[in-house]
Amino acid sequence: MRWIEDQCAAQASSPISSALDLMADCARIVESEVIPIQAASGRISAAAVESHMALPRFSQSAMDGYGFHRADVAAKVTGSFPIVGRVHAGGVPPGAMDRGTAIRLLTGAAVPPEVGAVVMEERVQRSGETVELQHPVRLGDNVRCRGEDVGLHDVVLPPRKRIDPRHVALLAATGYRTVEVVRRIKVGLLSTGNELTEAGQPLSATSVFDSNRPMLMSLLSQPHVELTDLDLIGDDLDSYAAYLHDRHQSLDVIVTTGGVSGSDADYTVRAVEMAGGQSQRIALAVKPGKPFAFGRLGACSVVSLPGNPMAALIGALLFVRPLLLTMSGVPQAPRPGIAAQASAPFVHRPRRTEFVPAIEVGSSTSGIPLIRPVSGAGSARLMSLSLADGLAVIPAGETDIVPGASLLFHRFGSDFSL
Residue with nearest beta carbon to ligand LQZAQKY5: 307
Question: What's the min distance (Å) between Cβ of 290 and ligand MOO?
Answer: 4
**Contact criterion met (CB below 8 Å) for 296 and 278:** yes
| 51 is a site residue for ligand MOO (CB under 6 A) | no
Stretch that binds ligand MOO, among 65-73, 144-152, 181-189, 285-293 (CB under 6 A): 285-293
| 308 is a site residue for ligand MOO (CB under 6 A) | yes
Question: What's the min distance (Å) between Cβ of 223 and ligand MOO?
Answer: 29
What is the C-alpha separation between 194 and 236, in angstroms, rounded? 9
Question: What's the min distance (Å) between Cβ of 291 and ligand LQZAQKY5?
Answer: 5
| 287 is a site residue for ligand MOO (CB under 6 A) | yes
Residue with nearest beta carbon to ligand MOO: 379
Helix (H/G/I), strand (E/B), else coil: 49: strand
Question: What's the min distance (Å) between Cβ of 360 and ligand LQZAQKY5?
Answer: 27
Positions in the binding site for ligand LQZAQKY5 (CB under 6 A): 191, 193, 195-196, 208, 210-213, 257-261, 266, 288, 290-291, 306-309, 311, 379-380
Q: Which of 65, 138, 76, 137 is closest to 102 using CA atoms?
A: 65
Question: What's the min distance (Å) between Cβ of 303 and ligand LQZAQKY5?
Answer: 12
Query: Looking at beta carbons only, is 19 or 115 nearer to ligand MOO?
Result: 19
Determine the straight-line distance between the first and last CA of the chain, rounded to whole angstroms: 33
Stretch that binds ligand MOO, among 102-110, 192-200, 282-290, 356-364 (CB under 6 A): 282-290
Stretch that binds ligand MOO, among 8-16, 47-55, 305-313, 395-403 (CB under 6 A): 305-313
**Contact criterion met (CB below 8 Å) for 188 and 255:** yes
Distances (CA, A) of 120 to 104, 106, 109, 143, 298: 10, 10, 13, 11, 67
Distance of CA 373 to the CA centre of its chain: 27
What is the C-alpha separation between 384 and 22, in angstroms, rounded? 32
Radius of gyration of the chain (CA): 31
Amino acid identity, residue 28? R
Burial of 331 (0-12, 13-18, 19+ CB in 10 A): exposed
Distances (CA, A) of 303 to 252, 283, 293, 319, 324: 11, 14, 6, 8, 11
Question: What's the min distance (Å) between Cβ of 414 and ligand MOO?
Answer: 25
Q: Give how many residues touch ligand MOO by CB under 6 A.
A: 8
Question: What's the min distance (Å) between Cβ of 310 and ligand MOO?
Answer: 7
Of 290, 348, 410, 411, the one binding ligand MOO by CB under 6 A: 290
Q: Which residues contact 355 (CB under 8 A, 6 or more apart)?
A: 286, 287, 288, 289, 314, 391, 392, 393
Q: Which residues bind ligand MOO (CB under 6 A)?
A: 287-290, 306, 308, 311, 379
